[in-house]
Amino acid sequence: MAGKSNVKIHIKTEWCKGCVICVEYCPTDVLAMRNGKAYVKDITKCTACELCEIRCPDFAITVLYDKSEK
Amino acid sequence: MFEYEKYIRKNKFPLVWCSGCGDGIVLKALLRAIDSIGLEKENVCMVSGIGCSSRLTGYVDCNTLHTTHGRAITFATGIKMAKPELNVIVITGDGDATAIGGNHYIHAARRNIDLTVIIFNNFIYGMTGGQVSPTTPVGMLASTAPFGNMENTFNISGLAQAAGASFVARGTVYHTVMLEKLIKKAILKNGFSVVEVLSPCPTAFGRRNKSGTIIDMMNEQKDNCVTSARAERMSERELEGKTVIGELVNIDRPECSKQYRKLIERCRSGL
Amino acid sequence: MNVIRVMTGNEACAEGALAAGLSFFAGYPITPSSEIAEELAELLPCAEGVFIQMEDELASIGAVIGASLTGAKAMTATSGPGFSLMQENIGYAIMAEVPCVIVNVMRGGPSTGLPTLPSQGDVMQARWGTHGDHQIIALAPYSVIEIFDLTIRAFNLAEKYRTPVILLLDEILAHVSEKVVLSDTAVRVIIDRIIPQEAPEAYLPYRYTQNLIPPMAPFGSGYRYHVTGLAHDETGFPTNDPVEIEKLLFRLQDKIIRNRDDIVQVEEFLLEDAEIGIISYGSSARSCRHAIRQLRAQGVRVGMLRLITIWPFANVKVEKWTKNIGKWYVVEMNMGQIAREVEAAAHGDATIFGIRQINGEPINPEFICQKIKDGLNV
């Protein structure tokens, strides 16, 4: 699946507790773990589905994109 | 993105809950539901009891009340009766609502007072270290059930339904989008509304019972839950071992605080 | 204009509460307090207030605290067993500083005890029933009219000091009918809690003000804040900081203790020339008045220091009078709960005897006279 061009994922590492929920449930394998925290491995695959954002229990993930493009 | 910052007390973060605890997922669904209804923060009052989930009230920028163990619904009843224009949301857990607070839970449902009660069911007392709760499944281990729980369990939603609640739903932290919709409906419903949220505890329940990681526990929700709409078309045998989620009850009954206002009107007009 | 009526103590309590501005009552039926609830079930909706019968006393006090947080003047009424159930949340109201009035119509205990018979056995429970170090205000009227007046005063003190106030009645007072002259409504003093003047952004719900009583914003008035029974700082949020914890607990104590003079009321009855003193309260003090008149007719100079405020204890007055008079009788329907306080306050300056009865019978004047006369010969 092609990703969106203008999407950004912001991860607030100080709030991330490394639960891995975002990584596991990302349908396009955008996220991964490093030093116990989530990070953006490959933003080009991101479809801005926002599943990582709504499932992050710690308010650590924000998905930013231009909604008009969706 | 959703602007959670509009509704949270950012300086209280990070959240107190363990890594992988689903309570934060429920909090976010709740905030989105409040936003989509368009409730003003000034008019929202959140009341919680004691336990992991009850710490939620500290994080939301509205009128918040963290009460004593089991009594959140009683405080909320006083608030709603005294100021019916407030949207009163009760945050509680399986132990808080159905063990120590069980009497208040069924009576609030009976009187059908317009409260939205969100029960975080993690099947254990998490905050105090994993003691057995009224929803701990039979055979499961808890610190006070070291040989496995041998008591029967409560069906939280069924209890509310039997006691007369207007709206009852069950959601999970895996089915997050559905959860938001259920909470929204519960808030909008005029009457006693319950959303039981299955929010697995990876720390106090999961480790002891070798339930795997939070991912294993959420996958179990994904694989094992059927929606109430689908369950209607399934046989009892097909439903065995399944968890029904979605809207379970949605009926209209006279609501307590409104009925009381009518009484005041009656007294005023001298009838 | 004064109004003359005949009413019972429980009726006077209900009407006094309404006169004080009561707008919310939650309770659970229990003898001998139920008439207060029955009265208010009828009167409150007509006064645009809320009456609700809850599922138990735990729920009643919870609902009362919730209602008070929205700005309502709220009350519950109960008796011993129910009062026991309310203790945890009385502590909550102390900690979170939520004004409310709890009426305890005392009956014989412990346990279910004597549902229809009087006692004054809950005096110490009123003081120390809830856990942890704390202060409490408790008032004990001794006549129907005083029940009316002290119910108003209970609300005034609750509002003024942001604290629960306990009104201790007993079965005799609750059910006795008396002629009362109700004061003109125009001369009654009604106190309402102080609400914040600052903008919501600047509001600190538990601010350390000079008088130690933070202004209280009702829920739903635009001031969004957090209330908890956990130890908290000025913002209202929980804290584990030892400095903040101590600051809070001392403030909660000092706001009552520093205002003892305003809170503590006693009646000094024929004490000036007395050789023997009586300390009593509630319906027992009624018997004492009769006993004092009888004894004086026989030439025994007896007077009474009547406690109207039970808690905080009237240390200063007791200290003063026990220095002047060497022999004291503490008359109470319990095993000496207040006598021990009197002994402590007297510092050995006077001899303290107890006149006690715990069998469900009121202490009658003859019994008091006999005890005091027996003491004359010793």
Tell me the CATH number at C341.
3.40.50.920
> Distance of CA B242 to CAs B100, B125, B205, B220, B236, Å?
28, 24, 20, 10, 10
Of B17, B32, B180, the CB nearest to A57: B17
**What are the percentages of helix, strand and coil residues in chain C, rounded to 5?**
40, 20, 35
Judged by CB atoms closer than 8 Å, whether chains meet at A59 and B213 is answered as: no
Chain B residues touching A53 at Cβ < 8 A: 1-2
3-state secondary structure of B222: helix
Express each pLDDT in C248-287 by its tens digit: 999 999 999 999 999 999 999 999 999 999 999 999 999 9
Query: What share of chain B in percent tops pLDDT 90?
Result: 98
Tens digit of pLDDT for each residue in C135-144? Answer: 999 999 999 9
Q: How far apart are CA C307 and CA C313, in angstroms?
A: 8
pLDDT at residue A2, rounded to an integer: 63
Structure tokens at C333: 């329907």
Contact assignment for A15 to B1 by CB distance below 8 Å: no
**What is the predicted pLDDT for the residue at A67?**
72
**C13 with C123, same domain?**
yes
Spatial CB neighbours of C42, under 8 Å, sequence gap ≥ 6: none
Residues C277 and C181 placed together within one structural domain of the fold:
no
**From A15, A57, A59, residue closest to B22, measured CB to CB:** A57
Range of the domain at A61: 8-69
Q: How many A/B residue pairs have CB atoms within 8 Å?
A: 64
Return d(Cα B228, Cα B247) in angstroms, integer. Answer: 6
- Say whether both C182 and C271 belong to one domain: no
Question: What span, in angstroms and rounded, lies between the C-alpha atoms of A30 and A45?
Answer: 6
Q: Note the pLDDT of residue C208.
A: 96
Q: Which tokens in the block code for residue B50?
A: 């004691």
Nearest chain B residue (CA) to A65: B1
Q: How many domains does chain A have?
A: 1
DSSP secondary structure letters along B227-239 = EHHHHTTS-HHHH
Domain boundary among the residues C160, C187, C214 is at: C187
Residues of chain B whose beta carbon is less than 8 angstroms from a beta carbon of chain A are: 1-2, 4, 8, 13-15, 17-25, 28-29, 32, 173, 176-177, 180, 213-215, 218
Name subunits touching A (3+ CB pairs < 8 A): B
Residues counted in chain C: 378
For residues C212 and C360, what is the distance between their CA atoms, to the nearest angstrom?
Answer: 42
For residue C287, what are the domain limits? 267-376
Q: Mapping DSSP to helix (H, G, I), strand (E, B) and coil, where does residue B19 land? A: coil
Structural domain includes residue C154? yes
Neighbouring C-beta atoms of residue B238, cutoff 10 Å: 12
Given a contact cutoff of 8 angstroms between Cβ atoms, the answer to whether C12 and C144 are in contact is: yes
Min Cα distance C46 → chain B (Å) is 5
Residue C255: inside a domain? no
B24 chain-A contacts, CB cut-off 8 A: 56-59
Give me the residue label for tokens 């027992």: C284
- Whether residue C216 lies inside any domain: the answer is no
Tokens of C370: 């006999």
Q: Do C63 and B75 touch (CB under 8 A)?
A: yes
Dist CA C41 CA C22 (whole Å): 12
pLDDT at A69: 56
- For residue B210, give Cα distances in angstroms to B125, B141, C265: 17, 10, 64
DSSP C217: P
Q: Does residue C211 lie within any of the structural domains?
A: no
What is the CATH classification number for the domain harbouring A18? Answer: 3.30.70.20
Q: Dump pLDDT digits (tens) for A34-58.
A: 999 999 999 999 999 999 999 999 9
pLDDT digits (tens, 9 = 90+) for B99-116: 999 999 999 999 999 999
Once rounded to an integer, what is the mean pLDDT over residues B44-72?
98
Q: How confident is the model at residue B138, as a pLDDT?
A: 97
Helix or strand run (H / E) with residue B258: helix B256-268
Interface of C with B (CB under 8 A): 23-24, 26, 45-46, 48, 50, 52, 54-56, 58-72, 74, 88-89, 92, 218-222, 224-230, 237-238
Per the listing, tokens 């003109």 go with C184
Q: Which two tokens stand for residue C17?
A: 């509460």
d(CA C17, CA C51): 13
Rg (CA), chain A: 11
- pLDDT given at position C132: 97
For residue A33, is it within any domain?
yes
Tracing tokens 């003003």 back to the chain, one arrives at B40
Instruction: Let me know if residue A63 belongs to a domain.
Output: yes
Q: Does A55 touch chain B (CB under 8 A)?
A: yes
Residues 6+ apart with CB under 8 A from B193: B114, B115, B116, B117, B165, B166, B167, B168, B185, B186, B187
Q: Is the pLDDT of residue B53 over 70?
A: yes
- Residue C77 pairs in a beta bridge with C103
Do C33 and C175 fall within a single domain? yes
What is the number of CB-based contacts under 8 A between chain B and chain C? 137
Q: Is residue A3 part of a domain?
A: no
Asked if A31 reaches chain B (Cβ–Cβ under 8 Å), the answer is: no
> Looking at residues B219-245, what average pLDDT do you find?
97
Distance of CA B155 to the CA centre of its chain: 13
Give chain B's domains with CATH numbers: 4-268 (3.40.50.970)
How many domains does one find in chain C? 2
Residue C137: beta bridge partners? Answer: C165
Residue C73 counted as domain residue: yes
- Quick one: closest CA in A to B22, which residue? A57
| Assembly ipTM | 0.97
* Same-domain status, C273 and C183: no
Tokens of B197: 């949220």
In a domain, C218, yes or no: no
Report, as ranges of residue numbers, the positions in chain C whose pLDDT lies below 50: none
pLDDT at residue A1, as a whole number: 52
Whether C133 is covered by a domain: the verdict is yes
Residue whose structure tokens are 């929980």: C238
Per the structure block, which two tokens stand in for C218?
A: 């009702």
DSSP label at residue B63: E
Q: What pLDDT does residue C183 have?
A: 81
Name the band, by pLDDT with cuts 50, 70 and 90, for residue B271.
Answer: low
Instruction: State the nearest Cα–Cα gap between B119 and chain C, in angstroms.
Output: 19
| 8-state DSSP, B131 | B
- Residue B72: is its pLDDT beyond 60? yes
Helices (H) and strands (E) in chain A, counts: 2, 4
Buried b (16+ CB within 10 A) or exposed e, A32-58: eeeeeebeeeeeebbbbbbbbbbbbbb
Supply the pLDDT for residue C9: 98
Classify residue A34: in a domain, yes or no. yes
Interface test with B, best of A9, A14, A21 (most B CBs within 10 A): A21
Average pLDDT for chain B: 97
